[in-house]
Copies of this chain bind each other. A is one copy, B any other.
Amino acid sequence: MTQPTTALLTDRYELTMLDAALRSGVGHRKAVFEIFTRSLPKGRSYGMVAGTGRALEAIGSFRFGRDELDWLSRNNIVSPEARQYLADYRFTGDVWGFGEGEVYFADSPVLTVEAPFVDAVILETVLLSIYNYDCAVASAVTRMVDAADGRAIYEGGARRAHEQAAVAAARAAYVAGATSTSNLEAGRRYAMPTIGTIGHAFVLAHGSDEAAFAAQHELLGPNTVFLVDTFDIASGIRAAVELTDGQLTAIRIDSGDLATEAFKARALLDELGAEQAGIIVSGDLDEWSIATLASAPIDGYLVGTSLVTGSGFPTASMVYKPVAMEDADGNLRPVSKRSTGKTTTGGRKAVFRRSGGGNSDGTDTAGRGGNDTARSAGPIDEVVIEHDTPIHEVSGSGRPMQHHLMTDGKLAEAAKSDLEQARLRATEARAELSESQRSVPPTKR
């Protein structure tokens, strides 16, 4: 184990279920669990998958060492028999999943886990934590990319999220199309481009734009972004242009009415001969305000709070549910619960997607379908086949959405997808959507 263990990133009830199911004999029966969301957030017509790579790492690091086992025993959380089982545990099942950067709809099984019941059930919390957070961020960022219409989205939300969540957010944002991140740990861990120049504190520390910009220029030269709104935007722009002989790369505005200020800044930069200088804005941006700013002369958006908090939807509402279980005779049977408002449809599912086949552009897909159901989502049909055979052996019409990521607990070739491939996949997946699915209204609906 080079990674720290993920084994205790787990809700206690999962180990209680393991313990009791090992006794009852049900524990070793094969089970199929799926991760999916019952519905998309209001106003969103699709979500974007991120976190798959992190989830596979977490499964690989899900091992109970001596420290974990001793703590569980000392606190009477597991019986001696369960402790022994956990001591030997490593995941030996199969995993299928949508690629990172793929689009998902309500009920899309973005991850399928097939393993003995107890082996699958104890992964619930850590897998959902990763999918719920990473998909929430990617789903927000892809909407920002939709709204930005080709202009850059810079990720800068670390300070508004838990310090490790921030690193995952940067990764998910990059998958979904952000160009870079302010977060250094994300840059190191995931080999992502990082950005950043200076903040208001630096200008205040130097007492004036002139002194601060001179210090910044001394280090970085003109190829940098000057933050011009600490005292007065027009004065800040004049100071930056004068210092760099008009050769500055860009300015950043972080306050005020951003559209108005961008128009004024553009006019002033042009008047001063700095036509090449870009304008970057920041300050409580989200998918809707980015859409509102579409007509302003803005070259890039530095997005913080709303990015790391899912732009109003801080969790993707993913659930991890058993859809099939081996019965006492060894046959795999669909299972489902009937709780009011939370009914699940049983049966292991294979999903194929066909472009150009849809005839609706609704903002939601049909409910979880029956056998061989085509759910139309805009110009995309998501064909769902319930089946008894392993997913990778099912043939269907269209692009198979589920990659075989782990076989008998080992990472499969398809799992070795890197972030650059995921970014490309995201671009392609967005391109399959209709214009109305990708349009972002200027105010939250």
* C-alpha gap A199/B197 in the complex (Å): 49
Which residues of B are found within 8 Å of A315, using beta-carbon distances?
Answer: 160-161, 305, 308-309
Of A6, A58, A121, most buried by chain B (CB within 10 Å of CB) is: A121
| Residues A165 and B167 in contact, CB atoms below 8 Å apart | no
Question: Once bound together, how far apart are the Cα atoms of A165 and B129, in whole Å?
Answer: 9
Task: Say whether A129 contacts B204, CB under 8 Å.
Answer: no
Q: A294 in the interface, Cβ–Cβ < 8 Å? A: no
Q: Does A223 contact B (CB under 8 A)?
A: no
Closest beta carbon of chain B to A127's beta carbon, Å:
8
**Which one of B17, B133, B183, B214 contacts A162 once the chains associate, using CB atoms below 8 Å?**
B133
Give Cα A33–Cα B158 distance, bound, in whole angstroms.
19
Residues in B whose Cβ lies below 8 Å from that of A397 = none
Residue-wise, chain A 178-193 has the 8 Å CB interface mask toward B (1 for contact) of 0000111101100000
> Could you tell me the distance in whole angstroms from the C-beta of A228 to the nearest C-beta in chain B?
10
Closest B residue to A29 by CB, please name it.
Answer: B205
B121–A20 CB distance below 8 A? no
Tell me whether A255 and B205 are in contact in the complex, defined as CB-CB below 8 angstroms, given that A196-B13, A219-B23, A315-B305 are known contacts. no
Give 20 A-B pairs besides A12-B195, A75-B187, A204-B325 with Cβ atoms closer than 8 angstroms: A13-B182, A13-B197, A14-B196, A16-B196, A16-B197, A24-B218, A71-B188, A75-B194, A121-B205, A124-B199, A125-B163, A129-B158, A129-B159, A129-B161, A130-B162, A231-B338, A255-B341, A256-B340, A257-B340, A305-B317
5 interchain pairs, CB-CB under 8 A: A31-B201, A165-B165, A231-B337, A232-B338, A305-B315
